[in-house]
Amino acid sequence: MTYLWATRGRSWGFRLLRTGGLDDPLPTYEAAFAAAADDVEVWQVTAAGGALRFPDPLGRRDRSGRVIPHDFVLLGGDAAGITSVEEGRRRLWPQVERVFAAAYDSPAPPTPRP
């Protein structure tokens, strides 16, 4: 599955932790979430494939007390078959859960991966 993933940790700010292999993933991310504003949960089909946002499944918060969101942009056909936030969470969360658990309390974000 090819996707972008953006989130934040307890003490580090919002970062793209997966780039989907794109040299410059930020424009793709911004276009995918342009219509989502600050919605807590999002599932929408986009030009790139699909935009998915859900709050941290374990309720983790940053040091300011804000619930941590997980934003994904699924690229191309990887969005096929997803029809809801819940379906997207079931498919994506297991792929990043351990990475986030290891990074959440770190003082700095992990290095982005393709």
Q: Mark 12-29 as b/e (b = at least 16 C-beta within 10 Å).
A: beebbbbbbebeebeebb
**Range list of β-strands (E), 2-103:** 3-7, 15-19, 42-45, 49-55, 69-75
Confidence check: pLDDT of 37 > 90: no
Which range has the worst mean pLDDT, 9-13, 19-23, 75-79, 102-106? 75-79
What is this structure's pTM?
A: 0.95
* pLDDT of res. 47: 87
Is 90 exceeded by the pLDDT of residue 78?
no
Q: How do residues 1-23 score in pLDDT, each as one tens digit?
A: 899 999 999 999 999 999 999 99
